[in-house]
Chains A and B, each alone.
Chain A
Amino acid sequence: MPSEKIAPPLWQRNLLFAVACVVGASAVVSNLLTSDTMSAPKHQAGRYEKPSFRMAVDWVDEEFAADWKKAKLEPAPPADELTQIRRLSLGLTGTIPSLQEIRAVEAQPEGERIQWWLSHLFADRRTSEYLAERFARAYVGVENGPFLIYRRRRFVSWLADEFEANRPYDEIVRSLITAEGLWTNNPEVNFVTVTVDQNEEKKGPDEVKLAARVTRAFLGVRIDCVQCHDDYLGDEWLQKDFHQLASFFGEADLAISGIRETGNPYEFEYRRQREMVKVPTIVPFQPELLPERGRPRHRLGRWVTHKENRAFARATVNRVWALMFGRPLVEPVDEIPLKDSLENPYPPGLEILTDDFIINNFNLQRLIRVIAATRVFGLDSKMPVGHAPPTLEHDEHRAAFTLSRLRPEQVAGSIIQSASLTAIDADSHIIFQLNRSIQQGDFIKRYGDIGEDEFYIQGGTIPQRLLMMNGTLVHERIKNDLVTNAASRILATASNDTKVVEATYLAVLSRRPSEAEAKYFVDALSQKSFLSRKAKQADLYWALINSTEFSWNH
């Protein structure tokens, strides 16, 4: 047979098999023997109790307390710490904490756990990568973009590096606005090249798209609404405001060597005028902050990120808040009034956090820590027994934590994480990483990504429920498999059924079972039935993964 001729000699095949066995076995062993391999993050205990930090937190707390008092609302009590830990993990890494991580955080002294957890997350590459992906949606959207000259993955990876180094956010944004060169060598250039429309006659970056992105993503204003005509009803913006801003990108040009400042000045034909006119470079507000000299994009970058241009810091605070809470402070996330008024005051906390962000040189990690330390972030999403449940008014005033539906990658990540006792992260073995990304990709497609419009609250759908109840990913992750699945390993290693149920709850829902739940499932495990214990344990996993609690941030 022809296949025998091309097959390698037997000894080679045996060797290959042996190598595969060794690799596989080492992977299994490294995954099984996980008792205490988690490295401790650099964390300075007590640092986040100092006045310079507490002051910002206390002021935010006072503003919210005053608002609740005025609205005559009883705020929800604090959520337990594990619930807060879960919120932070979902918001910053897109997945739930592992059982091992929960044990580690519980070993920390009380009062220090939330900030210790953040130290842990900031040292974890998953955080920077996930934040980069979420920010990138606002910067460049989710589409694939122009062929060849746009590399979204490189862009996100670069952004992740910047976040990991905790580079001041104003510097990151200036890099984006002023990016030059090739999209491969200088990944930030993709912020510019994504706007090239390869089907238009005019080649080169699109000033209008760039101006729209800059104003929405960095400044939280929607001046692009006036690109076709003046704002007839509002008196805020004129059509020229937008195009004069777009004009800063006029000279950005697409050359063989990448993006260069060799283009022609921006021209536009205004409504009711019959000819194209050269549009001057003028900013729509606070013109005194614009540097007089320099190349147009550099001047624009300085103006956007100027410490006195509060719109910049405010927009960032609003976006970070949205990532942590599942909904922004001001809705929609990219439309914040430049000034507040008696009729439309800024929500509590916004200005204080904006100040704190500016004073601390646009330090994103500090901003996240401050928000995480506030009372409002820590509130429960439910009320204790004997109290009326939170109302829509509670949601409106944030007097209780508002439920938000998990994004598809958060659900997929959580399913896969719940099936592992240790954190599945960027450092884990390549076999597990591959497993994760393939399964996750298919799952996300079927669960339905909602793209850029990610902060609207939407209910669940039938395809999602079918996918969770009957789909491959959940089935594979809960079935009896001592090597890959935590369900089996918990059953095999826990000393009694109470411990089995508790560990399962911690691994899937990041909390301990209530008394009623514990009784129900311990009884179910110990009673004789037509099902084996392994099957019952898989069913417990199934029930927890299919719960509202699992699919929502709460």
Chain B
Amino acid sequence: MNYPCNSASHITRRTLLQTAGFGGLAWLTPVAHLLGRAQEKAPTHAPAKSIIMLWMAGGPSQLETFDPHEGKKIAGDTRAIDTSVKGVKLAHGLPRVAKVMDELTLVRSMVSKEGDHERAAYNVKTGYRPDPTLVHPSIGAVLCHEFPDAKMDIPRHISILPGQWPARGGYLGAQYDAFKVYNTNGRAGNITARVQPKRLDNRLAALEVVEQSFARGRRPDLDTKTTLHNTTIQKALRMMSSEQLSAFDVNQAPAKTRAAFGDTQFGRGCLAAIQLIGAGVRCVEVTLSGWDTHANNHEAHVTQNAILDPALAALIRELRTRKLLDQTIVICAGEFGRTPKINPADGRDHWPTGFSIALAGGGFRAGHVHGATAADGAKLDPLDKDSIHVADIHTTVQHALGIEYAKELMTPIGRPMALSDGRVIQTLLK
């Protein structure tokens, strides 16, 4: 395990802590802008607004999804099928996705240094490698932090069917954590009061009596600056009575639309994600677990693809129909790929050096493939010009969203940190 370490902070950290450490959330102010972005093209169209992150927990096999090598030893019996883009093939388990390939950007040359689930999930969700001194925010948290919006009653960062490590606010604060929705039955959890409105008013009046007693002898801004207690109660009450809540409910969509996503929790989650994005939510993460196929890799991928294929294809189509695709970046990624070599249990193990992710919408090129893996499945060289690092994806996505990715924020440990520290991969963008 390597703890990456930015030693530029070592001297200043303690001094900064002493001056900034007690201001509650006051350290979250931009302190610097990096120079040297001259070579980068400004986006030619309106920046994207939102992200839908389809999180493939466990790490899907690139060979059974976006990067098949039919006929080669590493493929096993996985076949490659034609797509709507000439010359581009996908694994045979994704026939519906193949038909919307003309909307996708595939990156087949992803590399990272993280081969452990937790560390790699952190890496792919935040763009940074785990660092014991602080927790980085996930991409959705950065997006919400950079574009505040007072009009929303419901949380703007949502995780549907959260897995083990849902998206976090990290050093931006827990208020940027993804709001977790554990089911797709149309209601977010705990948003319905247990009692009638009149009795709830009674309870809130009683609470106010207790709060007044607690506030006596304390800082007047204790709630707004430190505890956020009553501030969040007000937000929670606003959410409980908001019309925007209907965006969680997929049952309002026509039966035909629902059917296209597949009769699965994940499929319904994808449809909910579109509705939520349409209602103004900035980032929705939808998790599909079950990709950690150390044994019976091919069989497991049949099951997984049967869930992913209709959902992803319908997601792209529905976003297009609702004219949301241009303003929404879809990312379909897991923490890493799987070994080209098939192990004795017919499984594939973890493989961070040459895996695939799919992107769509929001200014990303349509029908494009970047990078390639070798027919023998050799590790990609991280220094190769076509290799794309996890941080590069984050930087490119942030750039497409109009985020000043190089901007540094002061973190609670007194160490300035850029929102993202990769490169903009211009060839992935329109």
B209 touches A531 (CB 8 A): no
Residues of A216-248 at the interface with B, using a CB-CB cut-off of 8 Å, are: 216, 222, 224-229, 231-234, 236
> Contact flags (1/0) for B214-229 with A, using CB distance below 8 Å?
1011111011001111
> Which of B7, B210, B217 neighbours the largest number of chain A CB atoms within 10 Å of its CB?
B210
A548 touches B132 (CB 8 A): no
> Contact flags (1/0) for A447-467 with B, using CB distance below 8 Å?
010111100111111111111
Top 7 closest pairs, chain A to chain B, by CB: A459-B228, A382-B217, A543-B206, A466-B190, A548-B229, A465-B236, A225-B5
Number of A-B contacts defined by CB within 8 Å: 205
- Bound form: Cα–Cα A451–B213 in Å: 32
- Bound form: Cα–Cα A368–B37 in Å: 54
Chain B residues, CB < 8 A from A471:
190
Binding site for A on B (CB under 8 A): 1-5, 7-8, 10-11, 14, 17-18, 21-25, 115-116, 118, 132-135, 155, 173-175, 177, 179-180, 189-194, 198-199, 202-203, 206-207, 209-214, 216-220, 222-223, 226-233, 235-236, 239-240, 349-350, 412-413
Chain B residues, CB < 8 A from A185:
none
A465 touches B232 (CB 8 A): yes
A469 touches B217 (CB 8 A): no
Give B350 Cβ to nearest chain A Cβ, in Å.
5
A384 touches B5 (CB 8 A): no
26 A-B contacts (beta carbon < 8 Å): A225-B10, A233-B8, A233-B11, A332-B413, A380-B217, A383-B218, A385-B217, A389-B220, A393-B22, A396-B22, A446-B180, A446-B190, A451-B135, A452-B132, A461-B232, A462-B232, A466-B190, A469-B193, A469-B236, A470-B240, A509-B210, A516-B212, A546-B203, A547-B210, A548-B211, A549-B214
Given contacts A521-B206, A531-B199, A551-B227, 19 further A-B contacts (CB under 8 A): A197-B115, A200-B115, A224-B5, A233-B11, A236-B10, A396-B21, A446-B180, A451-B135, A453-B135, A458-B174, A459-B173, A459-B232, A462-B155, A524-B206, A542-B207, A546-B203, A547-B207, A549-B214, A551-B229
Contacts A233-B11, A389-B218, A475-B194 given; indicate if A462 touches B180 (C-beta within 8 A): no
Closest to A519 in B: B209
B211 touches A516 (CB 8 A): no
Contact residue among B1, B14, B173, B192 (Cβ-Cβ distance under 8 Å from A209): B1
- Bound form: Cα–Cα A524–B208 in Å: 14
Contacts A212-B3, A382-B216 given; indicate if A331 touches B17 (C-beta within 8 A): yes
> Contact flags (1/0) for A298-311 with B, using CB distance below 8 Å?
00000000000000
Task: Tell whether A32 is near chain B: CB-to-CB under 8 Å.
Answer: no
Task: Tell whether A199 is near chain B: CB-to-CB under 8 Å.
Answer: yes
Task: Tell whether A172 is near chain B: CB-to-CB under 8 Å.
Answer: no
- Bound form: Cα–Cα A228–B4 in Å: 8
- Bound form: Cα–Cα A455–B291 in Å: 34
Give A389 Cβ to nearest chain B Cβ, in Å.
5
A531 touches B202 (CB 8 A): yes
- Bound form: Cα–Cα A530–B195 in Å: 13
A514 touches B7 (CB 8 A): no
Contact residue among A387, A470, A509, A554 (Cβ-Cβ distance under 8 Å from B193): A470
Closest to A206 in B: B1
> Which of A384, A396, A462 neighbours the largest number of chain B CB atoms within 10 Å of its CB?
A462
- Bound form: Cα–Cα A224–B413 in Å: 16
Closest to B239 in A: A462
- Bound form: Cα–Cα A197–B118 in Å: 12
Contacts A384-B217, A469-B233 given; indicate if A448 touches B174 (C-beta within 8 A): yes
Give A533 Cβ to nearest chain B Cβ, in Å.
13
- Bound form: Cα–Cα A337–B5 in Å: 18
Give B242 Cβ to nearest chain A Cβ, in Å.
12
Give A269 Cβ to nearest chain B Cβ, in Å.
13
- Bound form: Cα–Cα A521–B205 in Å: 11
Chain A residues, CB < 8 A from B220:
389
Give A263 Cβ to nearest chain B Cβ, in Å.
18
A465 touches B17 (CB 8 A): no
Instruction: Tally A residues with Cβ within 8 Å of B.
Output: 86
Task: Tell whether A171 is near chain B: CB-to-CB under 8 Å.
Answer: no
B226 touches A516 (CB 8 A): no
- Bound form: Cα–Cα A547–B189 in Å: 21
Chain B residues, CB < 8 A from A212:
1, 3, 132
- Bound form: Cα–Cα A524–B132 in Å: 51
B206 touches A459 (CB 8 A): no
Task: Tell whether A444 is near chain B: CB-to-CB under 8 Å.
Answer: no
Closest to A540 in B: B206
Binding site for B on A (CB under 8 A): 143, 195, 197, 199-200, 206, 208-209, 212, 216, 222, 224-229, 231-234, 236, 331-332, 337, 344, 380-385, 387, 389-393, 395-396, 403, 405, 446, 448, 450-453, 456-467, 469-471, 475, 509, 514, 516-517, 520-521, 524, 530-531, 535, 539-540, 542-544, 546-549, 551-552, 554
B21 touches A331 (CB 8 A): yes
- Bound form: Cα–Cα A471–B191 in Å: 9
Contacts A405-B227, A462-B235 given; indicate if A514 touches B219 (C-beta within 8 A): no
> Which of A344, A382, A458 neighbours the largest number of chain B CB atoms within 10 Å of its CB?
A458
Contacts A199-B350, A463-B180 given; indicate if A227 touches B3 (C-beta within 8 A): yes
Contact residue among B8, B22, B135, B230 (Cβ-Cβ distance under 8 Å from A392): B22
B206 touches A460 (CB 8 A): no
Chain B residues, CB < 8 A from A456:
412
Contact residue among A226, A520, A554 (Cβ-Cβ distance under 8 Å from B5): A226
- Bound form: Cα–Cα A37–B7 in Å: 58
A459 touches B3 (CB 8 A): no
B206 touches A539 (CB 8 A): yes
Contacts A389-B220, A450-B174, A459-B175 given; indicate if A547 touches B214 (C-beta within 8 A): yes
Chain B residues, CB < 8 A from A462:
155, 175, 179, 232, 235-236, 239
- Bound form: Cα–Cα A347–B368 in Å: 59
Contacts A227-B2, A234-B7, A467-B190 given; indicate if A143 touches B232 (C-beta within 8 A): no
Contact residue among A199, A391, A520, A540 (Cβ-Cβ distance under 8 Å from B219): A391
Closest to A458 in B: B174
- Bound form: Cα–Cα A516–B354 in Å: 67
Contact residue among B24, B192, B202 (Cβ-Cβ distance under 8 Å from A539): B202
B10 touches A470 (CB 8 A): no
Chain B residues, CB < 8 A from A509:
210
B210 touches A543 (CB 8 A): yes
Chain B residues, CB < 8 A from A460:
174, 227-229, 232
Closest to A208 in B: B1
Chain B residues, CB < 8 A from A387:
217
- Bound form: Cα–Cα A523–B32 in Å: 57
B190 touches A470 (CB 8 A): yes
Give A192 Cβ to nearest chain B Cβ, in Å.
14
Chain A residues, CB < 8 A from B199:
531, 535, 539
Chain B residues, CB < 8 A from A514:
213
Chain A residues, CB < 8 A from B413:
332
Contact residue among A344, A395, A470, A517 (Cβ-Cβ distance under 8 Å from B14): A344
